[in-house]
Structure 1
Amino acid sequence: MTITNLEINTQADLDNLMSEVKAESPNLFQFISDFINKKVSIEEVEAFLKMEHEIQQLYIKNYKART
């Protein structure tokens, strides 16, 4: 999934985007959900964003939901 133009104007736009993410990349959706639910810290997200693209892909591929 590649998003080149991120234009979210309404809650419905966000809901549609998140539905796409959930369907196409469930591990990424889980990572985002865990961040929203404070199971992933800001520091962890910052570390993720500093990773090389290939490492980010592996991280998400192997991501498991937090309890």
Structure 2
Amino acid sequence: MPKVKDERVGEVLLSLLDDPTVTAFAVEALGKMRFTEARDQVVALLENSDKNVRDQAKKALKRIDS
């Protein structure tokens, strides 16, 4: 993912977390951006029924917290 300078991207990705068709991709991107404002929402995804979403949430948290 290219480096993004527009801070609105994180907000758009946060809004996509509610769309099950793109949740895993959105949380992955938030992690790569180390978007700390998403931490609480990413933690909540650790309980998601989709294993891929849970896995991406774990990876994202590692990046956000580093």
- Shorter-chain TM-score bucket reads 0.3 to 0.5
TM-score by length of 1: 0.32
Greater helix share, 1 or 2?
A: 2
Q: Which has the larger radius of gyration?
A: 1
